[in-house]
């Protein structure tokens, strides 16, 4: 898929023009972290969704345009990152966790 970062989840089958996609990978010391719990929090910090990162550390949300916080929780540590999402242009991000 032209233009997609190599680490990104495939967007095949998703109507990107209609969705506000936030996706990325959980990393620790540069390595992907599988089975991490990734939470999507809204602008007021309220829980909106949670997914488990894949075997390659990847996750995806379908949100709405605006500011969001991603918080990852795993037995190896926790991490947090803020992103700005917009419809039609998927956000690709990394959530780095530390002990």
Partner 1 sequence: MSRSDVLVDADWAEAHLDDPKVVFVEVDEDVSAYDKGHIRGAVRLDWKSELQDQVKRDFVDKASFEGLMSAKGISSDDTIVLYGGNNNWFAAYAYWYFKLYGHRDVRLLDGGRKKWELDSREQTEAVTPRPATSYTASGPRTDIRAFRDEVVAAIGTQNLVDVRSPDEFSGRLLAPAHLPQEQSQRAGHVPTARNIPWSKTAADDGTFRGDDALRKLYEGEGVDLSRDTIAYCRIGERSAHTWFVLHELLDLPNVKNYDGSWTEYGSLVGVPIEKDV
Q: What residues have CB less than 8 Å from 46, skipping those under 6 apart?
A: none
Our measurement of the distance from residue 54's CA atom to the centroid of its chain's CA atoms, rounded to an integer in Å, reads 11
* Contacting positions for partner 1 (CB under 8 A): 14-15, 18-20, 35, 37, 39-40, 42, 44, 46-52, 60-64, 73-75
Q: Give the shortest CB-52-to-partner 1 separation in angstroms.
A: 7
Q: Give the shortest CB-3-to-partner 1 separation in angstroms.
A: 21
Residue nearer to partner 1 on the CB measure, 27 or 61 = 61
């Amino acid at each position: 898929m032209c233009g997609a970062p190599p680490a990104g989840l495939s967007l095949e089958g998703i109507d990107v023009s209609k969705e506000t996609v936030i996706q990325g990978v959980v990393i620790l010391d540069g390595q992907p972290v599988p089975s991490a719990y990734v939470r999507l929090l809204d602008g007021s910090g309220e829980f909106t969704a949670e997914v488990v990162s894949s075997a390659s550390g990847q996750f995806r949300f379908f949100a709405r345009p605006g500011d969001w916080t991603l918080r990852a929780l795993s037995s190896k540590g926790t991490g947090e990152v803020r992103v700005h999402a917009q419809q039609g242009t998927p956000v690709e991000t990394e959530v780095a966790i530390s002990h």
